[in-house]
């Protein structure tokens, strides 16, 4: 259908918000202007052509202004992202010196958002002339979003973003801006769910991960030591069948040694094999604290993001052990301590978040380990 001239989105003069053609009355009654040039628009909602907005200048329909489509899509996407109460941040995957590391994706709550050029102070222009498209304020962190409709964030902008040290998520709409037929609903769906258009333009953890991979690579140039995996004895999918405790040379392994890989929405690319997966996590993520319990062992890890959440794994030493009792005790403790527990991507592992999460859990498991060691039995309240 012919529609090279049309706009999918327009700026409503009534509300000051971007609207799509399904939301307005036909013709000039739509009361909209072009987000790029400010010209009056009419909503074309006829039978033949796809519905769209057309420029209307000096009493007649005119052609599309240069940049009109890009500006319309850009403004609509910014408005949508700025309206989100939660955002699913993608995993960060880093490759350096032939090695890979990742930081898992996660969902965060957005307390408030800003569209910086709407602000009088124009503070984000600053010294480095960086103005993010959307600023999202979450608990204890700020995320910037960049909406691209023509070209990607260049190296010089990336360097300027780095000076601000704020993780910046890029939505690349360049491939879709010519397609047309967008509504706010379909655009929102694409922004939220199309992982192909999201990437980190800058991530605060990337430099650290790269440095760590380089150091690991240099360390592995020395004679390899057999790396003991701290997950030994943890029950996983197959009860009683522990993962291979020793993976020879895994400290010096390249990504291909983990193959085949599968994509996990929370963790990025991880080995398909359960034993390799545990070893991979042990290598990539921070060392756990280990608690010896009666008939079981518990591991507590800080989340690699440093966002205050923790991972807890409780493994039974034998089938019919006290693992389920400890699981229940942990749930009970988390509830009373105001911590939030969710099952994680790995069998037997839970993600726990909340105030002083690691400290609280450490006290809980230390007390549990002491009481089971003293009595040779689990704590009396189990």
Q: Where on the chain is the footprint of Zn ion (CB under 5 A)?
A: 34, 36-37, 39, 65, 68
Minimum CB–partner distance for residue 37 and Zn ion (Å):
3
Q: How far apart are CA 120 and CA 123, in angstroms?
A: 8
Minimum CB–partner distance for residue 22 and Zn ion (Å):
20
Of 70 and 351, which CB lies nearer to Zn ion in the complex structure?
70
- What is the DSSP track for 211-241? HHHHHHHHHHTSPP-PEEPTTTT---SSTT-
Of 182 and 333, which CB lies nearer to Zn ion in the complex structure?
182
Of 38 and 320, which CB lies nearer to Zn ion in the complex structure?
38
Minimum CB–partner distance for residue 65 and Zn ion (Å):
3
CA angle 274, 279, 284 (to 5 degrees): 125
Residues in CB range of 39: below 8 A, 6 or more apart:
33, 55, 56, 57, 62, 65
Of 68 and 321, which CB lies nearer to Zn ion in the complex structure?
68
**Distances, alpha carbon 301 to alpha carbons 21, 74, 187, 209, in Å:** 50, 40, 38, 17
Minimum CB–partner distance for residue 32 and Zn ion (Å):
11
Of 51 and 301, which CB lies nearer to Zn ion in the complex structure?
51
Minimum CB–partner distance for residue 36 and Zn ion (Å):
4
Minimum CB–partner distance for residue 68 and Zn ion (Å):
4
Of 31 and 362, which CB lies nearer to Zn ion in the complex structure?
31
H or E segment and range at residue 139: none
Contact 247, 258 (CB under 8 A): no
Q: Is 170 helix (H, G, I), strand (E, B) or coil?
A: strand
Q: How far apart are CA 99 and CA 96, in angstroms?
A: 5
Q: Is 169 helix (H, G, I), strand (E, B) or coil?
A: strand
């Amino acid at each position: 259908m012919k529609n090279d001239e049309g706009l999918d989105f327009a700026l409503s003069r009534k509300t000051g918000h971007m609207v799509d053609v399904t939301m307005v009355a036909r013709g000039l009654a739509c009361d909209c202007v072009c987000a790029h040039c400010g010209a009056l628009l009419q909503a074309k909602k006829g039978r033949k052509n796809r519905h769209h907005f057309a420029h209307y200048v000096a009493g007649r329909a005119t052609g599309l202004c240069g940049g009109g489509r890009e500006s319309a899509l850009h403004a609509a996407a910014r408005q949508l992202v700025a309206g989100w109460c939660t955002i699913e941040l993608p995993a960060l995957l880093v490759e350096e010196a032939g090695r890979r590391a990742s930081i898992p994706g996660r969902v965060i709550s957005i307390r408030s958002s800003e569209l910086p050029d709407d602000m009088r102070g124009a503070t984000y222009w600053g010294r480095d002339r960086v103005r993010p498209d959307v600023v999202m304020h979450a608990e204890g962190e700020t995320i910037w979003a960049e909406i691209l409709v023509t070209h990607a964030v260049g190296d010089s902008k990336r360097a300027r973003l780095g000076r601000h040290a704020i993780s910046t998520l890029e939505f690349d709409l360049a491939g879709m801006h010519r397609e047309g037929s967008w509504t706010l609903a379909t655009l929102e769906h694409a922004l939220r769910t199309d992982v192909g258009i999201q990437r980190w333009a800058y991530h605060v953890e990337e430099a650290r991960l790269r440095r760590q991979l380089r150091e690991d690579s240099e360390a592995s140039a020395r004679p390899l030591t057999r790396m003991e995996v701290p997950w030994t004895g943890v029950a996983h999918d197959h009860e009683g069948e522990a993962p291979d405790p020793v993976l020879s040379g895994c400290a010096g392994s390249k990504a291909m040694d983990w193959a085949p890989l599968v994509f996990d929405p929370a963790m990025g690319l991880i080995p398909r094999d359960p034993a390799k997966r545990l070893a991979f996590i042990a290598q990539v993520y921070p060392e756990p604290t280990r608690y010896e319990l009666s008939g079981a062992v518990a591991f507590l890890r800080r989340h690699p993001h440093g966002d205050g959440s923790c991972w807890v794994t409780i493994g039974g030493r034998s089938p019919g052990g006290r693992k389920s009792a400890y699981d229940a005790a942990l749930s009970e403790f988390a509830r009373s301590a105001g911590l939030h527990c969710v099952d994680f991507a790995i069998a037997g592992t839970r993600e726990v978040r909340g105030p002083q999460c690691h400290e609280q859990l450490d006290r809980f498991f230390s007390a549990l380990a002491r009481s089971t060691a003293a009595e040779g039995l689990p704590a009396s309240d189990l």
